[in-house]
Amino acid sequence: MTTNREELIVEFKEHLIKYLNLLDLTPADIQNDVPLFGEELGLDSIDSVELIVLLDREYGIKIKNPTEGRQILVDVNTIVDYIIANRTK
Amino acid sequence: MYIKDLYAISPQKTHDLSFENGEWQVLNEYIYKAVEPSYQDLIPNAQLRRMGKAVRMGIGVSLPILGRNPKPDGIIFGTANGGLEDCIKFLNQIVEYNEGTLTPTNFVQSTPNALAGQVALLSENQGYSMTHVNGSLAFESALLDASLYFDEYHGEEKNLLVGAVEEISDYNYNIDRLGERFKEELVPNVDLLSSGTKGSYCGEGSAQFYLSNNPENSLAEFKAFKQSSYLSENEIGEFVKSFLDEQKLDTTSIDCLLLGKNGDVSTDSWYEQVEQLFSDKPKVYFKKSVGEYRTVSAFASYLAVRLLNGQAGYLMENGATEKPRTVLIYNHFDAVRHSLILLQK
């Protein structure tokens, strides 16, 4: 289990690319503070469900409250901070 | 039903018409994979990255046709398996994650009607939508549906997008291989029919047609079609003759015969029975080009329209006719499901 924040960021981005099939991107292409659902990556509502599945499978985190989800699934930084604080695996 | 436009993605270079103009791909593979065009200008990236191959190929064929023609009144597709790769991935996830949270993408893409739905969404079409999953007669069922639709609106001009799609996935290839549908040894497609062994080679692709009940400016016509199951070798000749009788034609009326002969020694004899009826006629063995799959009759129909319009004539064997006017397609799958499609120009 990765505990170092920088390593976790890279690992999360790799999962992001795999789960969302963003195969033309590398982890270096995804900025940590750019909104995931903005114009940059162009993610949509189906992707948000894929992200929830990703967090559940890879980190044992279950997001059930939509309001909470909107605050977590903002950018790579907010998600990784949440993983560090709440991961169960 | 008049064909106004058509397009195909197949193991040959049909997407840029190289195949029609004489560039024939020699294939020496166990799997005849479709030659796909670049979809970047056609399908938004956000949607493209989620699409399985069947949906991607299907949309890659639909959108160019829809871009050249008025919005159709309906979309009718046939597919035996649809996006089977995504379907099996989804089913495996249910087991792997102990029926926990599942990803939506594989599920959305795995249903056979995902293609018709995606095409309707992308082209903003709210008309009739139907997907037929009748195995190896799925395309023929789509044709029948289209015919019934035009009958229903007799006297009123209507247009339909009709076609078929099939993808090769590891899963269905392996299942069909275990069923001895595919050859264990490698023979180039040019020698497919003389391989002398059981099975054929697996192909894939999508072929679609813009159909209308208005004959004006049409490329050809789906004149008639007929299907039957469990015909014996001795019954197939009568099946063909009675079909031609119903159309007030006989074997001399056919200018070119397209046969689904696939190099499988256990089932090619049905084709040989039909070949004998048309011994002096030019023939096209279309599975040498694209392999065997359950909706391959859509590709055969695509090829027939090209032949009727003076293209791809180099594929005719046993003599050639410059521009056939009446073409008959005979295809069967496993010698169980048989279909005849008659096209005219």
Tell me the average pLDDT across B215-232. Answer: 96
Structure confidence at residue B27 (pLDDT) = 96
| Chain B environment of A50 (Cβ under 8 Å) | 103-105
Are the C-beta atoms of B289 and B314 separated by less than 8 Å? no
pLDDT number for residue A41: 81
Q: What is the pLDDT of residues B313-343, one digit of tens each?
A: 999 998 877 789 999 999 999 999 999 999 9
Tell me which residue in B45, B46, B102 faces A53 most closely, judged by beta carbons: B102
Say yes or no: A57 contacts chain B, CB-CB below 8 A.
yes
Shortest Cα distance, chain A CAs vs residue B294, angstroms: 29
Residue B340 is predicted with a pLDDT of: 98
Task: Choose, out of B49, B86, B97, the residue to mutate when testing the contact with A (most A CBs < 10 Å).
Answer: B49
Q: Which residues contact B268 (CB under 8 A, 6 or more apart)?
A: B193, B261, B262
Q: Centre a 10 Å sphere on the Cβ of residue B243 and count the other Cβ atoms it contains.
A: 19
By Cβ distance, the residue of B45, B46, B101 closest to A53 is: B101
Give the model's pLDDT for residue B287.
98
Averaged over B140-160, what is the pLDDT? 97
- At B18, the pLDDT band (50, 70, 90 cuts) reads very high
The DSSP secondary-structure symbol of B72 reads: P
Domain ranges in chain B are 2-344
- Rounded percentage of chain A residues whose pLDDT exceeds 70: 98
**In chain B, what residues touch A21 (CB-CB under 8 Å)?**
49-50, 105
Residues B163/B5, Cβ–Cβ less than 8 Å: no
ipTM over 0.85: no
Label residue B87 by pLDDT band (50, 70, 90): confident
pLDDT value of residue A64? 82
Domain boundaries, chain A: 5-86
Write the pLDDT tens digit of every residue in B27-79: 999 999 999 999 988 888 878 888 889 999 999 999 999 999 999 999 999 99
Mean pLDDT of B97-101: 79
Q: Which of A44, A46, A52 sits opposite B101 (nearest CB)?
A: A52
Could you tell me the maximum CA-CA distance found in chain A, to the nearest angstrom? Answer: 32
Against a cut of 0.90, is the pTM above it? yes
Cα maximum dimension of chain B: 63
**Cross-chain residue pair B104–A44, CB shorter than 8 Å:** no
Q: How sure is the predictor about B204, in pLDDT bands with cuts at 50, 70 and 90? A: very high
Name the superfamily (CATH) of residues A5-86: ACP-like (1.10.1200.10)
Specify the pLDDT at position A40. Answer: 76
B103/A43 touch (CB, cutoff 8 Å), yes or no? no
Q: Which class does domain B2-344 fall in? A: alpha beta
How much is the mean pLDDT over chain B?
Answer: 94
More confident site: B160 or B87? B160
Structure tokens at B162: 């009709």
Whether B15 shows a pLDDT value over 90: the answer reads yes
Average of per-residue pLDDT values in chain A = 89
Interval B234-283: pLDDT, tens: 999 999 999 999 999 999 999 999 999 999 999 999 999 999 999 999 99
pLDDT at residue number B170: 81
Tell me, yes or no, if A45 comes closer than 8 A to chain B by beta carbon.
no
Distance from CA of A81 to the nearest CA of B (A): 22
Tell me the torsion sign for CA atoms A49, A50, A54, A56.
positive
Give the mean model confidence (pLDDT) for residues A43-53.
89
∠ CA B289-B284-B242, rounded to 5°: 130
- Collect all residues from B whose CB is shorter than 8 A from any CB in A: 45-46, 49-50, 97, 100-105, 108
